[in-house]
Amino acid sequence: MHSRREFIHRLAISTAGIPFLSSKFPFFDDRPLRVAIMGLGGYGTRVGEAMQSCRRAKLVGVISGTPSKIKAWQEKYNIPDKNCYNYENFDNIKENTDIDAVYVITPNALHHDHVIRAAKAGKHVICEKPMALNAKEGQDMVNACREANVKLLVGYRMHFEPKTLEIVRMRKEGEFGKILFFQGLSGFKIGDPNQWRLDKDLAGGGSLMDIGIYAINGARYMVGEEPVWVTAQETKTDPQKFKDGVDETIQFQMGFPSGAVASCLSTYNMNNLDRFFLNGEKGFAELQPSTGYGPIEGKTHIGPLTQPHKTHQTVQMDEMAGIILDGHKAIVPVDGVEGLKDLQIIDAIYEACRSGQKVSLQA
């Protein structure tokens, strides 16, 4: 009779050429991506809760400037003291081998510094969108992560959403024919006038930086091209709430190399705006709601989209674990270069608002 050790050894040899076993048998599961969340506000809380259902990503640490929040998260998620940091001492995470990646979910103006510090500490970084305040900052962050040999990903949860990906698949396979037009409507009536999203120093702008980026990014993955020009017009009806440098409503247009055009709206002063529409010579696709937390609803010229809803942040974190740990490639990219492209367009839209002129985008 063979010993148990001999049996395991022979089993390992016999299955060495079958890489798919890890996804089918629980005792072959790969280790999880161990994540520390930086910024324990509303969205950080949503991500933390969603991660409890992840298969490949695990919440193991927190970074916050509020001791009471750290304590509450420790109790809720069983996080040890050694994995808890504040904004002053989190560079010490470099010595912590229990943490693989930092998810930066702080106000926009802090992303640049926080991402670069995490990269210098040798940790992979996931950063909420917009990745930075402008393209120059974004390029700094991409460079820092490259130099540190860590991955930089951006929290584009819609890039993993099933109905969205079905439209991308149909477009790639030519089912809409030549793409002619995209419309993206993104907005809501914002509440508390004292929140950081209405503080230019922290937000870097207004609705465009928060909700309009969905229409920018959506136009790019729906049309399947990079825009070559933008025009834009800003409207402000409440200068008390939306002070200088904080945009209330921006309408913007983009042109693509094929001749397709996009017409988009970003606003903090209207509800019922969460719609994408893609039109081609052979058919169309519509999502409404298109970017909310779900469920996303949609249809195309051949009928309703019926892909099941899954919690976006759970799917995102599992997929990002595969990208970081296994080198998987996302169908729609979520890396720092993708985030940088959106920032370049945002810069151009603000310039078009200031100048009233069409702004060309470098290829």
User: 215 and 190: one domain?
Assistant: yes
> What is the average per-residue pLDDT within 201-219?
98
- CATH (domain of 114): 3.40.50.720
| Number of domains composing the chain | 2
- pLDDT at residue 363, rounded to an integer: 61
User: 152 and 162: one domain?
Assistant: no
Q: Which residues of 27-36 are buried (b: 16+ CB within 10 A; e: fewer)?
A: eeeeebbbbb
**End position of a domain, from candidates 98, 129, 156:** 156
User: 53 and 98: one domain?
Assistant: yes
Q: What are phi and psi of 338, to 5 degrees?
A: -60, -45
Which residue in the list 58, 123, 129, 341 is annotated as catalytic? 129
Could you tell me if residue 145 is inside a domain?
Answer: yes
- CATH (domain of 208): 3.30.360.10
User: 117 and 250: one domain?
Assistant: no
User: 247 and 260: one domain?
Assistant: yes
Could you tell me if residue 7 is inside a domain?
Answer: no
> What is the average per-residue pLDDT within 49-60?
98
How far is it, in rounded angstroms, from Cα 85 to Cα 88? 8
Which residue in the list 214, 221, 268, 350 is annotated as catalytic? 214
Q: Is the pLDDT of residue 156 over 80?
A: yes
User: 30 and 121: one domain?
Assistant: yes
DSSP 212: I
User: 197 and 254: one domain?
Assistant: yes
User: 213 and 355: one domain?
Assistant: yes
How far is it, in rounded angstroms, from Cα 34 to Cα 96? 11
When mean pLDDT is compared across 16-25, 103-112, 208-217, 289-298, the lowest value belongs to: 16-25
The mean pLDDT of the chain is 93
Could you tell me if residue 330 is inside a domain?
Answer: no
Is 214 among the catalytic positions? yes
Could you tell me if residue 78 is inside a domain?
Answer: yes
In single-letter form, the type of residue at position 343 comes to L
Of 287, 297, 285, 330, which is closest to residue 179 (Cα–Cα)? 285
How far is it, in rounded angstroms, from Cα 232 to Cα 277? 19
User: 166 and 147: one domain?
Assistant: no
Q: Tell me the pLDDT tens digit for each residue of 235-250.
A: 999 999 999 999 999 9
Could you tell me if residue 325 is inside a domain?
Answer: no
Could you tell me if residue 340 is inside a domain?
Answer: yes
User: 170 and 264: one domain?
Assistant: yes
Could you tell me if residue 3 is inside a domain?
Answer: no
Could you tell me if residue 258 is inside a domain?
Answer: yes
Containing structural domain, residue 117 = 19-156
* Rounded to 5°, angle at Cα 195 from 191 and 200: 115
> What is the average per-residue pLDDT within 90-105?
98
User: 187 and 102: one domain?
Assistant: no
Q: Tell me the pLDDT tens digit for each residue of 247-284.
A: 999 999 999 999 999 999 999 999 999 999 999 999 99
- pLDDT at residue 12, rounded to an integer: 44
Q: Is the pLDDT of residue 28 over 60?
A: no
User: 43 and 190: one domain?
Assistant: no
Is 129 among the catalytic positions? yes
Tokens at 221, concatenated: 């993955």
Q: Is the pLDDT of residue 22 over 80?
A: no
How far is it, in rounded angstroms, from Cα 223 to Cα 130? 20
**End position of a domain, from candidates 111, 137, 156:** 156
- At residue 362 the predicted structure's pLDDT band, cuts being 50, 70 and 90, is confident
Q: Is the pLDDT of residue 13 over 50?
A: no
- pLDDT at residue 82, rounded to an integer: 98
Give the percent of the chain with pLDDT over 90.
91
Q: Is the pLDDT of residue 23 over 60?
A: no
Q: Is the pLDDT of residue 290 over 60?
A: yes
Give Cβ neighbours of residue 134 (< 8 Å, ≥ 6 apart).
204, 343, 346, 347
**End position of a domain, from candidates 156, 186, 201:** 156
Give the percent of the chain with pLDDT over 70.
92
